[in-house]
Amino acid sequence: MDTEKTIRQPKQKRSMEMKERILSSAMRLICEKGFFQMTTNEIAKAAGISIGSLYSYFSDKDTILAELLERHHNHFMTVFQTLNTEMNRRLYTENLQEWLRCLVKKLIDLHLCVKDFNKALEELYYAKKDVAAVLDLHREEIRKAVLELLGRNQDRVKADDLEAASVVIVDFIDALVDRIVFKSTPVKEERILDTGVTMLYEACFYPADEE
């Protein structure tokens, strides 16, 4: 989202705080009203600043969304990298089911920390290419992690096509996370998580004692 207009890069505390108010107000309005329904005037009012002040930091609401997306992506990548810790890598061979549970739980936590914003982004998926690009990148990072798990335990995987299996597994995980985070149910979330992970594991892997 390039613009010819000179945009201020805040360096002083007061300017940085003003920019943060704009971003937090925009995120709140996106969650409450939707991106296409909100206006820059509403963002400025919610942030307690003039519309002129807003335009000194952002040229339009698309550039605001772009920065929110960048922050969302950076947070996802930072948290997701914890899957590559030594402890979690040991689970690749020691306990595949627990590794899957760790992955699903981490994705649930990532969605819950900004639940309404995640929902708003999913609704923007087919309308905003930059949103689709970020969400697709996240799903690809998840798929690559699953594919690595399958590759390291190929003799236990029930499917021959590991790449296709990684896509199917990620689709299942997406549905499980969506059910727990966004949908109401009379069954406790922990039971859904445990049952879902058990079913996924048993559908994809042979038990360790059958190697």
Domain assignment of residue 161, yes or no: yes
The whole-model pTM stands at 0.86
Say whether both 49 and 143 belong to one domain.
Answer: no
Q: Please tell me the predicted confidence (pLDDT) of residue 10.
A: 63
CATH of the domain at 96: 1.10.357.10
Say whether both 49 and 72 belong to one domain.
Answer: no
Of 146, 153, 123, nearest to 135 by C-alpha is 123
Say whether both 114 and 38 belong to one domain.
Answer: no
Say whether both 71 and 124 belong to one domain.
Answer: yes
* 3-state SS, residue 205: strand
Domain assignment of residue 4, yes or no: no
Say whether both 169 and 202 belong to one domain.
Answer: yes
pLDDT of the chain, 211 residues: tens digit per residue: 343 445 566 657 788 899 999 999 999 999 999 999 999 999 999 999 999 999 999 999 999 999 999 999 999 998 888 777 766 777 777 899 999 999 999 999 999 989 999 999 999 999 999 999 999 999 999 999 999 999 989 999 999 999 999 999 999 999 999 999 999 889 999 999 999 999 999 999 998 864 4
Q: Please tell me the predicted confidence (pLDDT) of residue 85.
A: 77
Domain assignment of residue 170, yes or no: yes
Of 60, 66, 65, nearest to 30 by C-alpha is 65
Tell me the C-alpha distance between 151 and 140, whole Å: 16
Measured in Å, how far apart are the chain's first and last C-alpha atoms?
Answer: 52
CATH of the domain at 36: 1.10.10.60
Say whether both 107 and 121 belong to one domain.
Answer: yes
How does 201-210 read in b/e, with b if 16+ C-beta sit within 10 Å? beebbeeeee
Say whether both 188 and 118 belong to one domain.
Answer: yes
Contact present, 119 and 72 (Cβ < 8 Å):
no
Say whether both 70 and 52 belong to one domain.
Answer: no
Domain of residue 78, residue span: 65-210
Cα–chain-centroid distance for residue 198? 23
Say whether both 27 and 124 belong to one domain.
Answer: no
Domain assignment of residue 3, yes or no: no
Q: Phi, psi at residue 86, to the nearest 5°?
A: -60, -40
Domain assignment of residue 206, yes or no: yes
Tell me which amino acid residue 99 is. Answer: W
